[in-house]
Structure 1
Amino acid sequence: MSDPDFSWAIKMMRAGYAGRGLTYLIVAGVSLYTIWQGGSAEGTQTVFQYLEGTGWGSVALFLIFAGLVAYAIWRVTCAIYDLEDYGTDGEGLIARAGQVTTGLIHGALGIAAFLLLFSGTSGGDQSGVAKAAAAVMEWPGGRWIVGFAGLCTIGAGIYYGHKAWTEAYREHLIGNEFTLNWNWVLKAGVMAQGVIVGIIGVFILYAGITANPNEASGLGGVWEFLGGQPFGQFLVVLICIGLLGFAVFCFVNARYRIVPKATEKDLTTLAAEMKARAT
């Protein structure tokens, strides 16, 4: 029996990573521009609202919507069919559950862009993370669910940091001149994403501990927290630049990501290429 044809999923993956990269590119770019103009870095929803008021913003919002929905479909499909070969043991099932979770989160961001594009509203001024926390806290045991979600998000941030430090992402990318020369940008980008996700996780955990959903916050809260630290503006700019690196990481994945069960079998990974050149 021949293997199933997942070429459609690869196309969805490319569109999804491109949409994800565009999102982070615009969020980081607008934030850096705002800082340069004497303002402060902005959260995702605020950036979406900024786009809605520009001449080119509608096109960008539509591309973000389409890309993030494609990314959500890709992640869920990847988890169901185990396209990245994580397996069915405990560790593999956790990884696949994480794929579904990240897919749903990015799908929700895509829907926010869609709502702003076609209805002129993204659902109010409260952060999407805070609104989600408030909704969950209405459930029986909701604050504990929120707290657990915070711990999981912190774990995801640590995972990103470990992934950057060990350069584990190289196992999933094709090795060529471009990925070799830009590896340092990819590493910085993944590390910056880890910092952001980890801080968001702390916010969510604290919201669960205090039973106050308003303590949960997204990217806007991260900028506010970092800005309040010593050398805060420098830290915000540094992480914004790192977020640009993560946008590059997403674009590189759109073009060069290896999917074990859906792409060619004889592709050389970036890790193997770097090891070969080092010997």
Structure 2
Amino acid sequence: MTTAQNARAAARRAADTPALDRLARVGLACRGVLYALIGVLAIQIAFGSGGEQADKGGAITTVAELPFGSVLLWVMVAGFAALALWQASEVLFGHLRPLDRAEAACKTVVYALIVFTLWSVLTVGRAASEDQKSQDVTGKLLDLPAGQLLVGVIGLGIVGLGVYWIRQGVTKKFREELELGRMSPRTRSVMEKLGVAGYLARGAIAGLAGIFVVQAALTHDPDKAGGIDATLRAFADTPVGPWLLVLVAVGLMLFAGYCFGESRYRRT
């Protein structure tokens, strides 16, 4: 076995340790906390009492303001770092289909960014606006040669992600990631309902966010793009009024329940 093969084998063994598995499950529960808080913040926005941004940064800032908030944030750092390492190991060593490998790579980046946001709140006291970050990145991309085309493709990719999540919910494909044999029939039924509602809500948000990015490309206006907060607020501006935002927010909170169950029953 070559030195490179030895290194890969050692890295794979490190990724398969029981300690990393337990920390990754903590991370899945922490993911549920974030989605629950985003849902609560979105409902507050719907009824005109929102203060924090309804995104991961706003949720993390809310956690920081709780008693022993810094302790909880350090737990979340460990959990999301473990999730990032786990997904990275799947990309590098897992026997995955190309689409599943791409999804694992995207999750690695997302979890790493959450760790960065947590670190920012711990050191600076507050997370930067995800809407502003999205607009800044979009603006820099638009300034590149063929920038409009690039941003448009990214926007269509985000729309595609939303469609993919909606399909995951409608077909209940997320069940493939769960150890269904360990669940009672009642638990399985509850997890399926939570998963369907959660994936539909996430898909709706991603789809609308992608449309905003496409609009930014077509108009060459980075201000058209936005993060989760701007997308959620857009639901309140529809003819249905704030009730559509409430419906999506409830879907996010149900997905939080799915995440808590996933932390116990996820295949790792």
Q: TM-score range by the shorter chain?
A: 0.7 to 0.9
Query: Which of 80, 83, 86 does residue 74 from structure 1 map onto?
Result: 86
**Are the structure 2 counterparts of residues 37 and 212 from structure 1 closer, same or farther at C-alpha, using a change threshold of 3 Å?**
closer
Whole-Å separation in 2 of the counterparts to 1:16 and 1:222: 25
* Letter of the 1:107 counterpart: A
**Are the structure 2 counterparts of residues 239 and 212 from structure 1 closer, same or farther at C-alpha, using a change threshold of 3 Å?**
same
What per-residue deviation string (whole Å, max 9, x for no partner) do you get for residues 149-176 of structure 1? 1111111110110011011111221221
Matched with 1:152 is 157
Query: Which of 131, 134, 144 does residue 136 from structure 2 map onto?
Result: 131
Matched with 2:4 is none
Matched with 1:181 is 190
CA contact (8 A) 2:152 2:218 kept: yes
**Are the structure 2 counterparts of residues 67 and 247 from structure 1 closer, same or farther at C-alpha, using a change threshold of 3 Å?**
same
**Are the structure 2 counterparts of residues 29 and 65 from structure 1 closer, same or farther at C-alpha, using a change threshold of 3 Å?**
farther
What pairs up with 1:237-256 in 2 under 5 angstroms?
237-256=246-265
* Structure 1 moving runs of 4+ over 6 Å: none
Whole-Å separation in 1 of the counterparts to 2:158 and 2:79: 23
Whole-Å separation in 1 of the counterparts to 2:23 and 2:144: 34
The yes-or-no answer on 1:143 pairing with 2:143 is no
Residue 49 of structure 1, CA deviation? 3.6
The yes-or-no answer on 1:169 pairing with 2:174 is yes
**Are the structure 2 counterparts of residues 81 and 15 from structure 1 closer, same or farther at C-alpha, using a change threshold of 3 Å?**
farther
Residue 219 of structure 1, CA deviation? 1.1
Q: Look up the SS of the partner of 2:239 in the other structure.
A: coil
What per-residue deviation string (whole Å, max 9, x for no partner) do you get for residues 43-78 of structure 1? 223343444444444344334333333322222221
* Letter of the 1:25 counterpart: A
Q: Look up the SS of the partner of 2:238 in the other structure.
A: coil
Residue 100 of structure 1, CA deviation? 0.9
The yes-or-no answer on 1:205 pairing with 2:210 is no
Residue 101 of structure 1, CA deviation? 1.7
* Letter of the 2:82 counterpart: A
Structure 1 unaligned regions, length at least 5: 87-91, 260-279
CA contact (8 A) 1:35 1:41 kept: no
What pairs up with 1:81-96 in 2 under 5 angstroms?
81-82=93-94, 85-86=95-96, 92-96=97-101
* Letter of the 1:17 counterpart: L
Matched with 1:196 is 205
CA contact (8 A) 1:72 1:102 kept: yes
Whole-Å separation in 2 of the counterparts to 1:224 and 1:46: 14
Whole-Å separation in 2 of the counterparts to 1:24 and 1:124: 17
What per-residue deviation string (whole Å, max 9, x for no partner) do you get for residues 94-130 of structure 1? 3312221232123213312211221124235853322
Structure 2 unaligned regions, length at least 5: 1-8
Identify the structure with the greater helix proportion: 2
Query: Which of 3, 12, 25 does residue 14 from structure 1 map onto?
Result: 25
* Letter of the 1:29 counterpart: V
Residue 227 of structure 1, CA deviation? 0.5
The TM-score with structure 2 as length reference comes to: 0.81
Bigger Cα displacement from structure 2, 106-115 vs 158-167: 106-115
* Letter of the 1:244 counterpart: M
Residue 36 of structure 1, CA deviation? 5.6
* Letter of the 1:131 counterpart: D
CA contact (8 A) 1:31 1:41 kept: no
Identity %: 24
* Letter of the 1:257 counterpart: R
* Letter of the 1:151 counterpart: L
Q: Look up the SS of the partner of 1:127 in the other structure.
A: helix
What per-residue deviation string (whole Å, max 9, x for no partner) do you get for residues 2-44 of structure 1? x964533533532332222221122212333555674488422
What is the count of residue pairs matched by the alignment? 251
* Letter of the 1:245 counterpart: L
